[in-house]
Amino acid sequence: MIKIKNTVKKIYRILKRRDFWYTTDISCQNKFVGSAYGGWWMAQTDFTTEDIVLSFGLGEDISFDLGIIENYGCQVYGFDPTPKSITYLKSLSLPSNFILKEYGLGAKDDMADFFLPTNEEHVSGSVLAHEGQGTKVSVPLKSMKTLLKELGINKNIAILKMDIEGAEYNIIKSLFPLPVKIDQILVEYHHFFSNVSNDETINSIKLLNDNGYYLFNIDGYNYSFISKDLITVQ
């Protein structure tokens, strides 16, 4: 029944030109981690306590990040420059291997306008101006190269997760060549924004494909990719 409902929703979005049909590249063992709202599908690889996860865009749901820590003991770095998110996360009693950073990921080091939602019940801001936004604040962004250097990370990243409200397109373009190997890339695409086209997402997927990442799961607007070096085909 859930699958049928999701299919109907997708057809409706396609008719509204806010989505498109796309098929995965491969099939691999995968697992859903986190809440129904904030969770992600990830490939089941051999995680260890030495593995590093970079999670960009936290909002008020870090169930995925906490699930990764609980299940695998990984080191998780969480990034979000949104004032409301920072306040919320600082109110929590977080495990020692969750490290909060109060800045966002950018294509370059910069201070950027960050548009906040007009609906006070919402939390996620965006560097991309779109409908449903009100006031803006200035927030720090750091490139992948800079933040890896500052954090002292010079080894493989197990998972790079991006839920960054439309900024993912430029970020993905700026990633390659990668400063370190990344095993999995989990990204929410935002072609449902009125000023983002379906083609932008399709081109971003193709860019990841061209750089050795294959799509193994689509869940709404969440797309999960794995490096070709780690593929175990069922």
Residue 28 sits in a domain whose CATH number is: 3.40.50.150
- Is 137 part of a structural domain of the chain? no
- Is 184 part of a structural domain of the chain? yes
Give tens-digit pLDDT for 39-72: 999 998 889 999 999 999 999 999 999 999 999 9
Kindly give the pairing relationship between strand 133-142 and strand 104-105: parallel
Give tens-digit pLDDT for 58-115: 999 999 999 999 999 999 999 999 888 899 999 999 999 999 999 999 989 999 887 7
List the domain range (segments joined by +) for residue 189.
24-104+153-230
Q: Which DSSP state fits 178?
A: P
Task: Assign 213 to helix, strand or coil.
Answer: strand
Q: Is the pLDDT of residue 233 over 60?
A: no
Give tens-digit pLDDT for 166-185: 899 999 999 999 889 999 99
- Is 6 part of a structural domain of the chain? no
Instruction: Return all residues near 11 (Cβ < 8 A) that are at least 6 apart.
Output: none
- Is 19 part of a structural domain of the chain? no
Give tens-digit pLDDT for 124-168: 666 666 555 667 888 899 999 999 999 999 999 999 999 998 899
Kindly give the pairing relationship between strand 157-162 and strand 182-188: parallel
Average pLDDT for the chain: 88
Whose CA is closest to 189, among 7, 15, 22?
22
- Is 65 part of a structural domain of the chain? yes
For range 183-192, the mean pLDDT: 94
Whose CA is closest to 54, among 219, 182, 220, 233?
182
Give the pLDDT of residue 121: 60
- Cα distances from 78 to residues 52, 53, 221, in angstroms, run 11, 8, 21
Give the pLDDT of residue 135: 79
Q: Is the pLDDT of residue 119 over 90?
A: no
When divided into structural domains, the chain yields a total of 1
The CB-side HSE value for 160 (13 A sphere, CA atoms) comes to 22
- Is 159 part of a structural domain of the chain? yes
- The pair phi, psi for residue 141, each rounded to 5°, is -125, 145
Give the pLDDT of residue 184: 97
- Is 121 part of a structural domain of the chain? no
Q: What is the pTM of this model?
A: 0.89
- Is 78 part of a structural domain of the chain? yes
What percent of the chain clears pLDDT 90, i.e. is strictly above it? Answer: 64
Beta strands in 74-198 (DSSP E): 75-79, 98-101, 104-105, 110-117, 133-142, 157-162, 182-188
